[in-house]
Amino acid sequence: SSELTQDPAVSVALGQTVRITCQGDSLRSYYASWYQQKPGQAPVLVIYGKNYRPSGIPDRFSGSNSGNTASLTITGAQAGDEADYYCKSRDGSRVVFGGGTKLTVL
């Protein structure tokens, strides 16, 4: 299957740690990448590859991969981290996005 499954919504208390997961068979073959999207804006890459952060992304964002599951962890969540998060992978020549997780920071 080429689908990637994410929890629709997750909440975290300000300053606490939250993990957002992504499951799919394609993750056994390809690393996931993760994108943050705020309302009315284009997605922004936050994690890619084994656990790489683009320049400008805070080090409280980290990624991990195990079997068919990829995870995005935010350590010490900030109010500005409230957003939709999407995982992305490949299935052969196709690109697949997860359905997205809406993160609420309480």
Partner 1 sequence: QVQLQQWGAGLLKPSETLSLTCAVYGGSFSGYYWSWVRQPPGKGLEWIGEINHRGVTNYIPSLKSRVTISLDTSKNQFSLSLSSVTAADTAVYFCARRNSGSYWGDSYYYMDAWGRGTTVTVSS
Site residues for partner 1 per CB under 8 A: 30-31, 33, 35, 37, 42-45, 48-50, 54, 84, 86, 88, 90, 93-100
Q: Quick one: 76 exposed, middle or buried, by C-beta within 10 A (0-12, 13-18, 19+)?
A: middle
CB of 88 to partner 1, least distance (A): 7
Q: Which is nearer to partner 1, 16 or 104 (CB)?
A: 104
Q: Which positions ≥6 away from 83 have C-beta within 8 Å?
A: 36, 37, 38, 102, 103
Name the phi and psi angles at 62, rounded to 5: -145, 160
CB 38 within 8 Å of CB 86: no
3-class SS of residue 7: coil
CB of 19 to partner 1, least distance (A): 20
Q: Which is nearer to partner 1, 18 or 27 (CB)?
A: 27
CB of 103 to partner 1, least distance (A): 14
Q: Which is nearer to partner 1, 10 or 45 (CB)?
A: 45
